[in-house]
Structure 1
């Protein structure tokens, strides 16, 4: 069974991002005027969404949802300014993983096709 390099890279990024987003919760509670319930819902909610998406990357729609999470992480910068930077870093990592993963998958498919044609 072939493993998808795109899925592996994107799942790793979402898992690391879940930790970062989870850690925004205590920051929002202690350093901002955001109510505790909203901070818990946003911070931990986004972290859980990241972990769930990491497991759902077999479906193409999950990659689109991953872009939505990236936008939400950058948007969190309006509450915690450092998240403009951290969210941007994760968005760049996400985009790189998606594009590089697709390229690797295409090249791998071409190599398998060439091998099959040669054996064939």
Structure 2
């Protein structure tokens, strides 16, 4: 699960950075505000890569997804991109758990080569 979720979060890191560049064109927002919010969200993406397997990590990831969708009020395309990343997050969590379960089954059968290959 960690690999899939981390890959999604790294993709979000870059999308948030690019959304910050787009948001800078809005005259009603100061550059400091844009980069403070974007920077915190980008830092959260990186921190969540390490926290995803810990208690509350998945919930924090969902909070990030909601924040990404809500950023569509500033950069409208983020409604779409946020929804796409929320779908990717769901798939990463769902299929990552299935992969982890398969690895555990292979390890329980006593074939470590199969557990590493999964």
When normalised by structure 1's length, the TM-score is: 0.84
Instruction: Return 48-57 or 24-33, whichever deviates more.
Output: 24-33
Structure 2: unaligned runs, 5 residues or longer: 112-118
C-alpha distance in 2 between matches for 1:32 and 1:56: 36
Structure 1: unaligned runs, 5 residues or longer: 1-5
SS in 2 for 1:31: coil
Aligned length: 111
Match of 2:52 among 42, 54, 57: 57
Summarize deviations over 1:1-54 as a string: whole Å, max 9, x none: xxxxx0011111101110110111121111352222211111121111101111
Residue 3 of structure 1 corresponds to none
Instruction: Return 48-57 or 104-113, whichever deviates more.
Output: 104-113
The aligned runs of 1:25-36 (5 Å cut-off) are: 25-31=20-26, 33-36=28-31
Match of 2:8 among 9, 13, 29: 13
Across the aligned residues of Structure 1 and Structure 2, the Cα RMSD in angstroms comes to 1.6
SS in 2 for 1:112: helix
Residue 110 of structure 1 corresponds to 105
